[in-house]
Structure 1
């Protein structure tokens, strides 16, 4: 049974732990993913003057995304909480619940920005995009958190970056995805719920659904007629010599 997005691709790429598989080097903020509070705290302390984000590796709509500002007494507590408060649990249970407390989270370098773009990829190419202007007192660019949405266009650099990511996703059977970016950085690649279709209509933006569906149908016909993953005959060489084309390790 063919799917728009390959199940294995969703399983392996549908969280923040494998973003570097599809996002080219230099376009991801510095990120450490761990379930160890000690490891995360040691990493944070190396640059106490920096601002960081901490967030779950597999959550949606900006849930539990916290800003760690320099000098805040909340920073240590948030990292403890986001990794399951294992120190407290082990103290109270003498290690009896070891293995149940640890949670993975991402500690990511924060790059201040006022605008993000949600870009919809279909069949490996950007087909729609909208501007998300963050609320003045927010660091999250999700529509659930009072962003102002508007129609927008991609710059030449953004277009090229999205096409590169689209080709990498296609190698893993992902034909429909959403990207959150503030160039040059990519913050999220959304595979399960890319959004941007009914949401655009609800916001009064042009309906791109017919273009997206047609692109997906055309690619599906090409893929399933030869019973192989999609290829892109017009793919160009990487603009970064030695750049890994992306693959699951």
Structure 2
């Protein structure tokens, strides 16, 4: 089987690019590492620049470069494609559109439709059972979110953009907080603070999520990697003492944890529901019994779980993905 992994850069492989490439090679697969933002078309056949990974080469590590002769590779000459990043903003629409067209002929580990429509925070209400998600409001109208906040004066909230990643612009809003009004104005585009004359300033509104704070988060979060509906790897994250966020990149502490049967059952329930929409690899953020976030595009966790526990689960990932698609192709 020939697998094409599409990533942002071939000069610095990510924490999924490296171990997943190594694992598929160990199973005898031909792996190409390709540039996501270089997708192009030759008479409507889609191709990209990339590297055919040497079968006998040294294992890759996160941060290493993809060694080998670089060339061009047609997507329809691969049996499976794995999108590992979001396209860059300037080419975002074009790349997603071309990848969707390519997906009509070639299998993708995570479907383009799923990556586009199920990755934002909007999708939690569709994928996660009501009893396992925090109550939320979503709007680009500052006055609506401000009124919802004021209706519950003793409630703590979290406010964030629906499409941000890595803990960016995630704010903890205490009850009767002095800066809440300004934060909600900022997250919704500061439209109320614009002095527009005859609409010369254009459309300013941006969407924000106002979500009830979950006290269980204080005890730490767990990131669970679910592959083809099976919980494969997990680790814990504890927030920095000076920050309510537990993202590793923002100072959160990586720890080894166990999952109890209820956590595994919930993670696999969500993974199986996502599979119905072509999503076969997902990172689920959990503070049981609540699901905090779904991470579909290049979710960290596989490499972090290895760092925390000393166990590399990448072979299990490759085995499940290969078996799933081979079953689909034979049926």
TM bin, normalised by shorter chain, reads 0.7 to 0.9
Which of the pair has more CA radius of gyration? 2
- Give a deviation string over 1:131-187, Cα, whole Å, max 9, x none: 112222221121112222122221111111111101110000000000000001111
Q: CA deviation at 1:4?
A: 0.4
Task: Name which of 121, 129, 132 aligns with 1:27.
Answer: 132
- Give a deviation string over 1:193-230, Cα, whole Å, max 9, x none: 2111233445563211111111111112122333xxxx
Kindly report which structure 2 residues correspond to 1:148-163, keeping only aligned pairs within 5 A, or say none: 148-163=253-268
Contact 2:231–2:264 (8 Å) recurs in 1 = yes
Any stretches of 5+ residues in structure 1 without a counterpart? 227-249
CA RMSD, aligned part only?
1.5
Q: CA deviation at 1:93?
A: 3.5
The structure with higher relative contact order (CA 8 Å, sep 6+) is: 1
TM-score, with length taken from structure 1: 0.85
Q: Secondary structure of 1:181's partner? A: strand
Task: Name which of 198, 205, 213 aligns with 2:303.
Answer: 198
Q: CA deviation at 1:114?
A: 2.3
Larger deviation, residues 213-222 vs 200-209: 200-209
1:244 is matched with: none
Kindly report which structure 2 residues correspond to 1:1-249, keeping only aligned pairs within 5 A, or say none: 1-89=106-194, 91-99=195-203, 101-112=204-215, 113-202=218-307, 205-226=310-331
Contact 1:151–1:205 (8 Å) recurs in 2 = no
Any stretches of 5+ residues in structure 2 without a counterpart? 1-105
Contact 2:157–2:212 (8 Å) recurs in 1 = yes
Structure 1: 4+ residue segments shifted above 6 A: none
- Give a deviation string over 1:30-78, Cα, whole Å, max 9, x none: 1111111011011111101111000010011100000111222210000
Number of residue equivalences = 224
TM-score, with length taken from structure 2: 0.65
Q: Secondary structure of 1:118's partner? A: strand
Contact 1:120–1:129 (8 Å) recurs in 2 = yes
In 2: Cα distance, 1:88 partner to 1:205 partner: 51
In 2: Cα distance, 1:25 partner to 1:93 partner: 44
In 1: Cα distance, 2:310 partner to 2:159 partner: 32
